Amino acid sequence: MIIPGRDDDGAQYKCRAELDLGPEGPQPHPTVTSKPLTITVHYAPKFNCIDQYEVTENENHNLTCTVDANPSSKITWFKGQQEVDIPQSLTRENRGEYTLVTNNTHGEASHKLVIDVLYAPEFLLGNDTVVVSKGSNVSLNCSAEGNPLPEMKWNYTAALNVKLSTEGRQRTVRITAATSTNAGIYICTATNIVGTATRTTTVTMKGIITDRLWIMLW
């Protein structure tokens, strides 16, 4: 008895009969073989798909999810409760968890897929100029978005009254009792595996013109 499975779909079977007339009969025994019989096996869908996929923003992806089913079945994508189409080029708005659903007359199947879209750092604010009075305190804030989260660094003129602090995703330069030595260009750099972005803050002192700026890496 043959109990076919999905791997037997399209397989060919033949029936072979042999007539044994004993030692007095013809040798070898007469045989006859039937024409091949190709069987078709119907079965419920089964997904062939990864669980997580990572891609860089605006690059064409090579994500492939297929279904093994007979009769064949169509894949429908859902993000939350909404049916969606997956574009060839993904953006950060396409990040998230998706549910893939399919069915045929023999059953249905679903699959969870998480898509992570990486993108280069972007600053929340543009370049800036800060005018300070001698002896005043000033804080220069720097924060950026990116996936993965970027590493933040400041480049500025070293001084004893300048300190760095970190609060969450924000990197801050704090100047206490500002003097003319604190005037200059402060550059914040955000870096992740996708790229780098910079933001410049120019600090000027009231009534003082800075002729030369020295930049040090911190």
Sort strands 12-13 and 144-147 into parallel, antiparallel or unpaired.
unpaired
Picking from 193, 183, 198, the residue whose alpha carbon sits closest to that of residue 142 is 198
Answer yes or no: same fold for 43-119 and 124-217: yes
> Contact, 173 vs 186, CB < 8 A?
yes
> Contact, 15 vs 42, CB < 8 A?
no
Q: pTM (2 decimals)?
A: 0.74
Q: What do you get for the CA distance between the two ends of the chain, in Å?
A: 78
Residue-level pLDDT, tens digit, the chain, 218 residues:
667 777 777 777 778 888 777 777 777 878 888 888 787 889 999 999 999 999 999 999 999 999 999 999 999 999 999 999 999 999 999 999 999 999 999 999 999 999 999 999 999 888 889 999 999 999 999 999 999 999 999 999 889 999 999 887 788 999 999 999 999 999 999 999 999 999 999 999 986 554 444 444 44
Instruction: Report domain extents, the chain.
Output: 43-119, 124-217
Q: How many CB atoms lie within 10 A of CB 213?
A: 13
Q: What are phi and psi of 92, to 5 degrees?
A: -60, -25
> Contact, 164 vs 154, CB < 8 A?
yes
| Cα–Cα distance measured from residue 11 to residue 67, given in angstroms and rounded to the nearest whole number | 20
Largest separation between any pair of C-alpha atoms in the chain: 127
Which amino acid, 123? F
| Cβ partners under 8 Å of residue 185, min gap 6 | 156, 200, 201, 202, 203, 213, 215
**Domain at 124-217, CATH homologous superfamily:** Immunoglobulins (2.60.40.10)
Q: Which CATH architecture has domain 43-119?
A: Sandwich (2.60)
Q: How many CB atoms lie within 10 A of CB 117?
A: 20
Q: What are phi and psi of 66, to 5 degrees?
A: -125, 165
> Contact, 83 vs 143, CB < 8 A?
no
Q: Which two tokens stand for residue 70?
A: 């007979």
